[in-house]
Chains A and B, each alone.
Chain A
Amino acid sequence: MIDLRSVSFRYRQDWVLQDISFGIERGEFIGVIGPNGSGKSTLLKILCRLLSPQKGEVLLDLTSLREMNQRDIARRMAVVPQEAYSLFPFRVIEMVLMGRSPYLGHLMFEGARDLEIAKKAMDWTETFSISERFVDELSGGERKRVFIARALAQEPEVILLDEPTANLDIHHQVDFLDLILNLNREKGLTILMASHDLNIASEYCDRLILLRGGRIYKIGPPREVITRENIEEVYGCRVWVDENPVSGMPRISLLRKGG
Chain B
Amino acid sequence: MKILTLKKVVTVSLFLTFLLVLVILFSVMVGSVRVDPVRSISILLQSLLGLTGAETEMERTIILSLRFPRALLAGLVGAGLSVSGVIFQALLRNPLADPYILGVSSGSAVGAIIAIFLGLSTLSFGLPLASFAGALITIALVFYFGKQEGKIHPNILLLAGVITGSFLSAIIMFFLSISQKEELHTIIFWLMGDFSFANPRAIGIVLPYIVAGFFILYYQSRHLNLILSGEDSALQLGVNVERLKIISYLSASLITAASVSLCGLIGFVGLIIPHSVRLLFGPDHRLLLPASALIGASFLIASDTLARTLLAPVELPVGVITAAFGGPFFIYLLRKRKVVKTL
Contact = CB atoms under 8 A, between A and B. Distances in A.
Nearest to B339: A88
Contacts, number: 107
A50 B232 contact: yes
A98 B225 contact: yes
Given A86-B228, A86-B283, A94-B225, 15 more contacts: A72-B238, A73-B238, A85-B341, A87-B89, A87-B229, A89-B341, A90-B228, A93-B1, A94-B4, A98-B229, A101-B237, A102-B238, A106-B220, A110-B3, A132-B1
A88 B238 contact: no
Interface residues of B, number: 39
Contacts of A185: none
Interface string B74-117: 00000000000000011001110000000000000000000000
Interface of B: 1-6, 89-90, 93-95, 218-223, 225-226, 228-230, 232-233, 235-240, 278, 282-284, 286, 338-341
A99 B3 contact: no
A84 B238 contact: no
A98 B1 contact: no
Contact of A84 (B229, B235, B284): B229
Nearest to A81: B233
19 contacts: A50-B235, A75-B238, A85-B229, A86-B228, A87-B93, A87-B94, A87-B95, A87-B228, A88-B95, A88-B341, A89-B338, A93-B1, A94-B4, A98-B226, A101-B237, A106-B220, A107-B218, A119-B1, A132-B2
Interface in A76-122: 78-79, 81, 84-91, 93-95, 97-99, 101-102, 104, 106-110, 115, 119
A211 interface: no
Interface residues of A, number: 41
Contact of B228 (A88, A108, A132): A88
Contacts of A131: 1
B1 A115 contact: yes
Given A109-B4, A131-B1, A154 B219 contact: no
B283 A93 contact: no
A74 B228 contact: no
A106 B223 CA distance: 8
Contacts of A71: 238
B93 to A, nearest CB: 5
Given A84-B230, A88-B340, A93-B1, A109 B236 contact: no
Given A87-B341, A88-B278, A106-B220, A115 B232 contact: no
A48 interface: yes
Nearest to B220: A106
Nearest to A90: B283
A209 B342 CA distance: 38
